[in-house]
């Protein structure tokens, strides 16, 4: 997609597709789908910073696993057995309600902090001189 358009349009279109793909999940709604769409830039950022898919895949898998199987939230509206039993309280925009933690406005600061953590982890472990908006060498080279 980047070669056909550019990076910004690739992120926007991918985010819309990812959000829309979750729209039909139980208890999703427009707000939950919008917040899910905001996860996409974080996953793309993880790929662009490392040049490998393991980090975005691990972030997605880890989020779903810990949110559902450990902490007992619904994961994109899907309930599963968990180690901790809990029920969301408070307004849905804050708790995520029956959709899960990714339906909470608290997802936004989490995403920002995780992108900062990704940047510094990559800078510390792989590319010491890489700036916050620089990508891993060779990632977008065709």
**pLDDT tens digit at each of 142 positions of the chain:** 888 889 999 999 999 999 999 999 999 999 999 999 999 999 999 999 999 999 999 999 999 999 999 999 999 999 999 999 988 899 999 999 999 999 999 999 999 999 999 999 999 998 898 898 899 988 887 6
> In angstroms, what CA-CA distances link 102 with 14, 45, 133, 136, 137?
17, 18, 25, 28, 32
- How confident is the model at residue 72, as a pLDDT? 92
- How confident is the model at residue 20, as a pLDDT? 96
This prediction has a pTM of: 0.90
**Residue 78: beta bridge partners?**
75
Q: Which residue range(s) make up the domain with 51?
A: 7-125
- How confident is the model at residue 36, as a pLDDT? 95
Residue 1 domain-assigned (yes or no): no
Gap between the Cα atoms of 85 and 47, Å rounded: 33
| Among 133, 111, 127, 136, CA closest to 53 | 136
Residue 136 domain-assigned (yes or no): no
Residue 45 domain-assigned (yes or no): yes
Residue 92 domain-assigned (yes or no): yes
What's the number of domains the chain is made of? 1
């Amino acid at each position: 997609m980047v070669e056909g358009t550019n990076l910004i349009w690739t992120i926007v279109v991918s985010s819309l597709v990812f959000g829309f793909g979750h729209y039909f999940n139980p208890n999703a709604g427009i707000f939950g789908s919008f917040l899910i769409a905001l996860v996409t830039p974080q996953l793309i950022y993880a790929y662009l910073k490392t040049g490998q898919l393991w980090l975005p895949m691990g972030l997605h898998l880890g989020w779903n696993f810990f949110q559902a199987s450990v902490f007992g939230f619904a994961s994109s509206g899907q309930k599963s057995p968990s180690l901790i039993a809990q029920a969301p309280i408070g307004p849905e925009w804050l708790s995520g309600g029956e959709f899960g933690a990714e339906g909470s406005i608290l997802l936004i600061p989490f995403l920002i902090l995780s992108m900062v953590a990704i940047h510094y982890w990559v800078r510390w472990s792989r590319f010491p001189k890489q700036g916050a908006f620089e990508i891993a060498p060779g990632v977008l080279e065709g």
